[in-house]
Amino acid sequence: MLLQHSVFHESLFPAGMNAAANSADNENQDFVLRRHFHFNLPLSSKLHDTPLVIFDTETTGLDSELDRIIEFGAIKVVGGVVLDSFESFVQTDIELPEHIVSLTGITQSMLEGQPDISTVLPKFLDFIKGSIIVAHNAEFDMGMLKASANRLGFELTWPCFCTVKLARRVLPGLPNYKLGTLTEHFGLTNDASHRAVGDVNVLSKILQEILGNEDVEVNTWGDVADCVIS
């Protein structure tokens, strides 16, 4: 019953399901636990009025099956106004490779005593309730997120659009669409590059620059449909 007491228990176990789950055998309980955690919204939904959670993860590597998330960073924005934030280290049994320590500045000792993914991920999923999630190079972050969810016994289906894909469409001609390049293009600074919290803060500003440009005409969820990661 790994998820029974998580912060998103009601979403995973509708009313009346608990009694059935308690009386089921282990095989049936496993089936009950593997539930979808999902969110859908109409294509006409205005991005300006919809909560957007800009998020980033730092990981032990690039393989969603073999590697693990070691840091979450996210901010919740509505109409360009930051309403809330989420950040957490994640303890893992995987020893951090030297290149990850060098890139992120996160060390093994910084992860000692931190909560593991079974504690942090439910809190993150509670944080994104009712929100569109946004990430830079979202295929990677969503891949890590979904793999972590699968290991905890459920499937994640959530609207997420990729700011790399969006920037390629609305800002043609840039040499590349790395976060650093977009940061420089908009005259911004990132004092904590390759750290989840620093990256989401600057990404939020980049996104508002794009959405606030009247010439871009990106107003609704449908307007970013070609940037969505499924």
* Per-residue confidence (pLDDT) for residue 45, from 0 to 100: 95
List C-alpha distances in Å: 142 to 9, 148, 189.
22, 10, 25
Give 26: exposed, middle or buried? Use CB within 10 Å, 0-12, 13-18, 19+: exposed
Q: Is the pLDDT of residue 195 over 90?
A: no
Range of weakest confidence among 46-50, 102-106, 188-192 = 188-192
Q: Is the pLDDT of residue 21 over 70?
A: no
Mean pLDDT of the chain: 86
Q: Which one is catalytic: 36, 48, 185, 194?
A: 194
Q: Is the pLDDT of residue 217 over 70?
A: yes
Q: How many residues does the chain have?
A: 230
Q: Is the pLDDT of residue 15 over 70?
A: no
* Per-residue confidence (pLDDT) for residue 5, from 0 to 100: 40
Alpha carbon of residue 97 to chain centroid: 23
User: Which residues are within 8 A (CB) of 83 and not within 5 positions of it... i.e. 6 or more apart?
Assistant: 51, 76, 77
Helix, strand, coil percentages in the chain from 3-state DSSP, rounded to 5: 40, 20, 40
* Per-residue confidence (pLDDT) for residue 40, from 0 to 100: 85
Strand-pairing partners, residue 36, are: 155
What is the rounded distance in angstroms from the CA atom of residue 208 to the CA atom of residue 142? 21
CA angle 150, 230, 165 (to 5 degrees): 130
Strand-pairing partners, residue 85, are: 75
Written as six digits, the tokens of 202 are 């600057």
Note if the pTM is more than 0.85. no
* Per-residue confidence (pLDDT) for residue 194, from 0 to 100: 73
Indicate the fold that domain 44-227 takes in CATH: Nucleotidyltransferase; domain 5 (3.30.420)
| Contact call for residues 127 and 37 (beta carbons, < 8 A) | no
**134 or 11: which carries more pLDDT confidence?**
134
Active-site annotation holds for 36: no
pLDDT band, very low/low/confident/very high, at 34 (cuts 50, 70, 90):
low
| Contact call for residues 74 and 104 (beta carbons, < 8 A) | no
User: Which residues are within 8 A (CB) of 174 and not within 5 positions of it... i.e. 6 or more apart?
Assistant: 167, 181, 182, 185
What is the rounded distance in angstroms from the CA atom of residue 54 to the CA atom of residue 133? 6
Domain ranges across the chain: 1-33, 44-227
Cα-Cα end-to-end distance for the chain: 28
User: Which residues are within 8 A (CB) of 84 and not within 5 positions of it... i.e. 6 or more apart?
Assistant: 75, 76, 127
* Per-residue confidence (pLDDT) for residue 198, from 0 to 100: 84
* Per-residue confidence (pLDDT) for residue 162, from 0 to 100: 97
Q: Is the pLDDT of residue 220 over 80?
A: yes
